[in-house]
Amino acid sequence: QKEVEQDPGPLSVPEGAIVSLNCTYSNSAFQYFMWYRQYSRKGPELLMYTYSSGNKEDGRFTAQVDKSSKYISLFIRDSQPSDSATYLCAMGRAGSYQLTFGKGTKLSVIP
Amino acid sequence: DSGVTQTPKHLITATGQRVTLRCSPRSGDLSVYWYQQSLDQGLQFLIQYYNGEERAKGNILERFSAQQFPDLHSELNLSSLELGDSALYFCASSVGTSEGDTQYFGPGTRLTVL
């Protein structure tokens, strides 16, 4: 079993829809949870960063972490065509600088 | 623009050859990370350097090596290249003082081995 599982999609939604992206993980030592956005042929850029359990909101983006279920989510409200990209979840654990990434979910927002 | 630079953008070479990828971190960042991204494996951590010293090692092959220089730029050396080494190679940097530091990624080098 991989440490981090992420549905690769692709996911296609109409403009204005609410998008839900998810990752599950098996290592209970993970404490830092991130979502990166990667446009085609570009490097990943950090979208959201959450430490431990809880919710974090930034504009149209909300990140949720449920450590009891080993499940993290990213919600995108009022999705825009510019949100079309691959979304990568990433996790880090105490005592380690290494991040473990999910394989990414490719999202297309159709105008 | 993350502030992390990588050269070259593209590299095409033959099996058995050796290449060097270069990364310059963001100003003020002391830590550099190297990742390999392929379609089947996703983004895989290779190795991390902090202020010139190796700090962590991930799934890096023995044919691969890296170093960080006194000016903090880093190089990833890939030798005896195989077809399966074709991938995107990313460098990331962070301040490096805390394990929860944000990592900022460069634009990547696309390596094609023919």
CA distances to A92, B18, B51, B100 from A97, in Å: 7, 28, 14, 7
Convert the pLDDT of each residue in B54-98 to its tens digit.
999 998 999 999 999 999 999 999 999 999 999 999 999 999 877
Apex A38 CA angle, B3 and A64, nearest 5: 105
- For the stretch A91-108, pLDDT in tens is 998 888 889 999 999 999
Phi, psi for residue B95 in degrees, rounded to 5: -60, -45
CB atoms B108 and A103 under 8 Å: no
Which of A41, A97, A100, A103 is the best substitution to test chain B (most B C-beta atoms within 10 A)?
A: A97
For residue A6, what is the nearest residue in chain B, using CA coordinates?
B42
Mean pLDDT over the full length of chain B: 94
pLDDT at residue A52 above 80? no
Q: What are the tokens at B88? A: 């995107």
Interface residues of A toward B, Cβ cutoff 8 Å, are 31-32, 34, 36, 41-46, 49, 51, 88, 92, 94-104
B 74-103 residues with CB < 8 A to A: 90, 92, 94, 96, 99-103
Smallest CA–CA distance from A92 into chain B, residue: B100
